[in-house]
Structure 1
Amino acid sequence: MIRIGAHMPTSYGFDKVPQLTVDSGGNTFQIFPHSPRMWKASLPSKKAADEFQVQMKKYEIPFEAAFCHCGYLINPASPKDDIWQKSVELLIIEGKICQSLGIPYLNIHPGSHTGAGEKEGIDRIVKAIDEFLKTVPDIVLLLENVSPKGGNIGYKMEQLAKIIELVAQPERIGVTYDTCHGFDAGYDITNKESVEKLFDEMESFLGLWRVKMIHLNDSKAPLGKPLDRHENIGKGFIGDRGFRNFLSFPQIQNIPWILETPNEEDLYTKEIAHVKSLIGLINVDR
């Protein structure tokens, strides 16, 4: 089953997300567990969490198709002890929010070493993840590939693989593949041969089974230029032809696709329909 959706707002309440998702033409979604630009976060009330779960069942969205994305301030690779500690503490709260809602996945950017070096950054990431995993049971952390800029770690598959290799509970680590970030890092998805090469690399370093979510984003920058500027599907350098090629591969057709493009006015309704048209789907079964 093809699952497609978008990053949805929670300003109306967690319980409104399932209906907003279905109304937009989606059957999967991603949300922030709290305001992403704040260090402060709190658990939803039991009433709010219970109502969210009721609405998930009402709109027939399985919890395996629901994702949380960590806040922007979190940097598990930070060499600064205060930032690292605050990042871990907030990550743990976010994990507990996921638990209360019943959402099994929390997506994180591995972070930036900010000049301290890749090895130091990976060591810090692993330490942060281990602290999270021993404190928050059940939740699966998804490491997202990132754009190769500003000391970022995780723009190469082998970097993600190294983190997974070193953590204490590797079975609780999955991966999110972001098409814009990958394009920044030189992973071309506009032709068959390049996609096959990407999948071979994923399988070799990670195992394709670890890929639990795909962020569908076109790129405002050409291949290999690390700007991290998302564009609407078909309007960037990947283009409709590139996405039609990428999405045609059966390896990713059972993985939820989530839009994070600069298009929130209609809650992605037109863009979800556009992606469906690229793969020849007018209606997608929920």
Structure 2
Amino acid sequence: MVKIGAHMSTSKGYHRVPFETLEIGGNTFQIFPHSPSMWKAKLPEEKKVELLKEAMANTGLNPGDVLVHSGYLINLASPKKEVREKSIELLKQEVRIVEMLGLKYLNFHPGSHLGTGLDTGIDRIASGIDEVLSTVENSEIILLLENVAPKGGNIGSTFEELKLIIERTSYSDQIGITYDTCHGFDSGYDICSRNAVEKLLIEIDHWLGLERLKMIHLNDSKYPLGAAKDRHERIGEGYIGYEGFTAFLSNDEILKRPLLLETPGGNAEHAEDIQRVKKILGIERDVDE
């Protein structure tokens, strides 16, 4: 069964997300655990947690296919002490929220070294991860490192960099990756032919092992291959295009992972993009039929 969904707003409450996911033709989703542009994150009320769990059960959605995306302010690689400490504390709080919601995967951007050097930035990320996961040693939470566009001192635009982060942590068993098609395209990873997709998977397997690939962010790109711009586009409307996504989605290894849209627009646009993906896959009705 192909798992597909989109990043969903929680403005109407966590419990509305599973139902709205079905309405747009999806069977999984991604959410923020709090406002992504704020340093503070409150733990959800027990009643709201129970409503979400009931909604998941009533819709038949699998919590193991859902992704929670960390806030945008977090930068474990920051050389600024205050920023790094706040990042660690916020990530700890996000882990607690994910646990309370009965979910498993928390995705975050590794961070930027802000010009202080790749190696020291990787060390800061790895030790920050250790500090976060040391507080939840018996947890089943998996932190997912997302590949990023190679700009602004960003770390994690290559699989080698992601591997170095994982190797330097003490909790490698609790770390996986999310592959973002737009960010990868920005970094020079072509997916516009079947051979290119095979090459991508071989590289992931070489550096990380395919078992670490847990989620796919399915985004087209507003800019050409290797542009390093990080501008998402709707499916088929960017430089990856229908031909690229046809090649990408023809690979069975890719389809084993949840496909999560972070394309521009709201529910109406996401419903259209999901239908575009289904059409590429030859699925004319619901994804699970």
- TM class by shorter-chain length? over 0.9
Q: Deviations over 1:188-243 (max 9, x none)?
A: 00012211111111001111111111000000110011000000010100000100
CA drift of 1:263 comes to: 2.0
2:288 is matched with: 285
Distance in 1 between residues matched to 2:200 and 2:34, nearest whole Å: 33
User: What is the count of residue pairs matched by the alignment?
Assistant: 286
Distance in 1 between residues matched to 2:141 and 2:225, nearest whole Å: 34
1:237 is matched with: 239
Distance in 2 between residues matched to 1:16 and 1:73, nearest whole Å: 26
2:59 is matched with: 59
> Which of the residues 123, 137, 140 maps onto 1:138?
140
Contact 1:8–1:267 under 8 Å retained in 2: no
Q: Deviations over 1:32-59 (max 9, x none)?
A: 0000000011000011001100100100
Contact 2:177–2:212 under 8 Å retained in 1: yes
Structure 2: unaligned runs, 5 residues or longer: none
1:84 is matched with: 84
Query: Which residues in structure 2 correspond to 1:61-210 (within 5 Å)?
Result: 61-136=61-136, 137-210=139-212
1:22 is matched with: 22
Which amino acid is the alignment partner of residue 119 of structure 2?
K
Instruction: Say which SS state the counterpart of residue 177 (structure 1) adopts.
Output: strand
Which amino acid is the alignment partner of residue 47 of structure 2?
K
TM-score of the superposition, structure 2-length normalised?
Answer: 0.97
Q: Deviations over 1:43-87 (max 9, x none)?
A: 000110011001001000011111100001000110111000000
Moved over 2 A (4+): none
Contact 1:3–1:256 under 8 Å retained in 2: yes
TM-score of the superposition, structure 1-length normalised?
Answer: 0.98
Which amino acid is the alignment partner of residue 91 of structure 1?
L
Distance in 1 between residues matched to 2:269 and 2:5, nearest whole Å: 10
Q: CA RMSD in A?
A: 0.9
The percentage of aligned residue pairs carrying the same residue is 53
